[in-house]
């Protein structure tokens, strides 16, 4: 797990890095630490960050500016901040957890344990870059999700698409449990499936409630049948 800590207080940064190293154990890469938004942006652009640990108040800089950008990234974000009144706003941007300062090692361990788990607060929106800014796309407006290389295309119910910088594999980890990977290229919400359709050659597809048909991978058919029968 590759961690990036954004914290402008040296003592706080060293303590956070030390506790993270203790939690991750030997063999894990040491956390990288930076104290400014510009430095953090440069490191985030390298696409080799799994988890961002972010303080919201950085020597007068607004951490929410970085948080909005981080929400579109292919990594998860944990806010570590004394600004507990901003927790709701942070969760609206899709953060994995909000660890209030002062925190205990046990509380930090809980946040790190949530990485890659659906036990955290379920996502209600996905952040995408658009027009030089960040737009939050409600999950309820997404008909299905299609893989696009290292990215994913959100196909909207009302027409049109939005491009997420998170891969299909990452979204499969982050989305609520009612989303299911039915094919190497597709994620759908199980409740949006109207029926299974078997065509010539035993090829299987799902028909969504809007009439859209999407292929089902053979290796995923068994799990899909169980979910539909549940």
What does the pLDDT look like over 87-143, one tens digit per residue?
A: 877 887 778 889 999 999 999 999 998 885 654 556 678 888 888 777 889 999 999
Each residue's pLDDT tens digit, 35-54: 988 898 888 887 778 899 99
Bridge partners of 136, per DSSP, are 127
Do 87 and 149 contact (CB within 8 A), yes or no?
A: no
Q: Mention the CATH class of domain 125-229.
A: mainly beta
Could you state, in order of their start, the residue ranges of all structural domains in the chain?
Answer: 3-113, 125-229
What would the two tokens of residue 106 be? 């046990």
Do 15 and 24 contact (CB within 8 A), yes or no?
A: no
Confidence of residue 3 (pLDDT cuts 50, 70, 90): very high
Indicate the pTM of the whole model. Answer: 0.61
Question: Superfamily assignment of 3-113 in CATH?
Answer: Response regulator (3.40.50.2300)
Beta strands in 17-150 (DSSP E): 32-34, 51-54, 57-58, 61-62, 76-81, 97-100, 125-130, 133-138, 142-148
Comparison of pLDDT for 165 and 120, the residue scoring more: 165
122 DSSP assignment: P
Checking if the pLDDT of 25 tops 70, the result is: yes
Beta strands in 41-117 (DSSP E): 51-54, 57-58, 61-62, 76-81, 97-100
pLDDT of residue 116: 58
Each residue's pLDDT tens digit, 61-80: 788 888 877 777 768 889 99
Q: 89: which residues sit within 8 A by CB, 6+ positions away? A: 64
């Amino acid at each position: 797990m590759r961690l990036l800590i954004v914290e402008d207080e040296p003592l706080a940064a060293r303590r956070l890095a030390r506790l993270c190293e203790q939690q991750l154990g030997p063999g894990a890469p040491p956390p990288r630490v930076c104290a400014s938004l510009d430095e953090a942006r440069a490191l985030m652009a390298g696409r080799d960050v799994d988890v961002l640990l972010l303080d919201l108040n950085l020597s007068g800089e607004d951490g929410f500016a970085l948080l909005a950008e981080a929400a579109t990234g292919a990594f998860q974000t944990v806010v570590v901040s004394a600004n507990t009144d901003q927790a709701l706003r942070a969760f609206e941007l899709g953060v994995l957890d909000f660890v209030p300062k002062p925190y205990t090692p046990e509380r930090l361990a809980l946040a790190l344990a949530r990485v890659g788990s659906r036990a955290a607060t379920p996502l209600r929106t996905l952040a995408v870059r658009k027009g030089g800014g960040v737009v939050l796309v409600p999950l309820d407006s997404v008909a299905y999700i299609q893989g696009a290389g290292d990215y994913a295309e959100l196909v909207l119910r009302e027409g049109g698409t939005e491009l997420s910088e998170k891969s299909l594999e990452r979204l499969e980890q982050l989305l609520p449990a009612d989303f299911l990977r039915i094919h190497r290229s597709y994620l759908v919400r199980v409740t949006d499936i109207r029926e299974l359709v078997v065509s010539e050659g035993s090829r299987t597809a799902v028909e969504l409630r809007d009439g859209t048909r999407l292929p089902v991978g053979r290796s995923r058919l068994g799990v899909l049948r169980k979910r539909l029968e549940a």
